[in-house]
Amino acid sequence: MSQRFDPFSTEALDDPFPFYKSLREKCPLHKHKEFSHPLYTMTRYDDVAEMLTNIELWSSHYGQMPRYSVQGCLFSDPPEHTWYRKLIQKSFAPRHVASMEDEIAELVKELVDEMEKTSSGDLHDALACPLPVLVIAKILGIPTDDIDQFKAWSDAQLAASKSPNADDSKAPREAMNTYLLEQLNFRRSLLKDAGIDGEGDPEKLIGSIIPDDVISGILLAEVDNRMLSDTERLVMLNQLLVGGNETTTSLITNLFWRLLSNRELYEQLQDDRSLYQVAVEESLRFDAPVLGLYRTNTKEVNLHGLDVPERSKVMATYGAANRDPNVFKDPDTFRLDRELEELRKHLSFGLGRHFCPGAQLSRLEARLALKEIIERFPNLRLTEEPERIEPFLLWGRKTLPVAWD
């Protein structure tokens, strides 16, 4: 049965979940007719999981947005995708991320120290927004002085992603690329000064001649006897930056928004610190920071009685799948009494080959932010309703006004 739903409408932007519920029940594959090409929304858990794992049928080649774009690197299909994925494996390996815990806890503490100087403010501006940028900048190797500029480019690219005009994201992307290229060239000059031209054993050079960070790793990485071109290096770095910043900010704002909207939850966490992980995971399930991403089908398929022509854009709607009552009991309630293992079935980080490499990192950031704030601000409360961020396929707050005196 067809259902009235416009993914770009103000109502769907304000609160997509009632729409997802009715789509899941009555129209599990929805076609949005007012668009330049066939555009669909898939909402049931099993269908979304099948889409994400059947990558022969559901290709990432044409990008994750409603319009077609070919970025390559991680936004591609195997075997190309497998190759690029190997390159970033080490930087995001669970052990490597876990080893950053103290460093991230220190960054959180510094931000909360600043907050403590006053009695109220915006949790988005003071903590949720700067934290992921500081963390990713550390991992990549971006100097602290350049971070604000960095964040602005990253935001501008995301904001442009909802626009039908592909040119909107061009200027910030080019500015960011120029900057990243300078960072690559700086490392090249260090190698040259040390008398090393071109190739070398990364294990020996990284950490001695050039800094131990992802930019150096990407400069020297070699998989199957091939190194990256500069164009590829820039695409990879961009994908890491744009993919990781606003999403983690949203996780943190969504989490505090829900805990403070129902303060009993916040108090429950004050009494039982063992629930921090559950709270982060429940937030990811309940408020998917990426509501959904698109795939393109490689051949015509018939699904739920609809013929979906080849090369349609279909949204794998994680935010809807996460509230499917066939998988999660009482899905529309934020609860802290869920089992961690059950909760981790949520699809907020995707599934299968493209599963988010930054998942552990963002979970860690959110848990450390939660711990520091709960322990230091027992009276934390919302002072105004927060505002939603703009990009239609993302879900987070751009303001979170709070007081803590």
Residues engaged in binding ligand HEM (CB under 6 A): 52, 60, 64, 74, 85, 136, 239-240, 243-244, 247-248, 251, 289-290, 293, 318, 348-350, 354, 356-358, 361-362
Nearer to ligand HEM, 85 or 233 (CB): 85
Minimum CB distance to ligand HEM, residue 51 (Å): 9
Q: Which residue is nearest to ligand HEM (CB)?
A: 358
Characterise 226 by phi-psi region: left (phi > 0), alpha (psi -120 to 50), beta (else): beta
Minimum CB distance to ligand HEM, residue 296 (Å): 12
DSSP three-state, residue 291: coil
Judge contact between 6 and 19, C-beta under 8 A: no
Nearer to ligand HEM, 41 or 362 (CB): 362
Minimum CB distance to ligand HEM, residue 246 (Å): 9
Nearer to ligand HEM, 161 or 247 (CB): 247
Judge contact between 280 and 274, C-beta under 8 A: no
Nearer to ligand HEM, 52 or 234 (CB): 52
**Of 297, 291, 308, 280, nearest in space to 366 by CA:** 280
| Distances 58 to 50, 243, 294, 308 between C-alpha atoms, Å | 9, 20, 9, 12
Nearer to ligand HEM, 256 or 349 (CB): 349
Judge contact between 352 and 363, C-beta under 8 A: no
Nearer to ligand HEM, 77 or 168 (CB): 77
Nearer to ligand HEM, 265 or 393 (CB): 393
**Of 74, 404, 86, nearest in space to 241 by CA:** 74
Judge contact between 396 and 256, C-beta under 8 A: no
Minimum CB distance to ligand HEM, residue 75 (Å): 6
Minimum CB distance to ligand HEM, residue 365 (Å): 8
Minimum CB distance to ligand HEM, residue 267 (Å): 25
Q: What is the rounded CA–CA span in Å between residue 219 and residue 198?
A: 10
| Distances 234 to 175, 178, 184 between C-alpha atoms, Å | 11, 9, 9
Nearer to ligand HEM, 210 or 293 (CB): 293
Minimum CB distance to ligand HEM, residue 373 (Å): 17
Q: What is the rounded CA–CA span in Å between residue 216 and residue 141?
A: 8
Judge contact between 291 and 16, C-beta under 8 A: yes
Q: Look up residue 375 and give its two tokens.
A: 């322990």
Minimum CB distance to ligand HEM, residue 292 (Å): 8
Judge contact between 151 and 133, C-beta under 8 A: yes
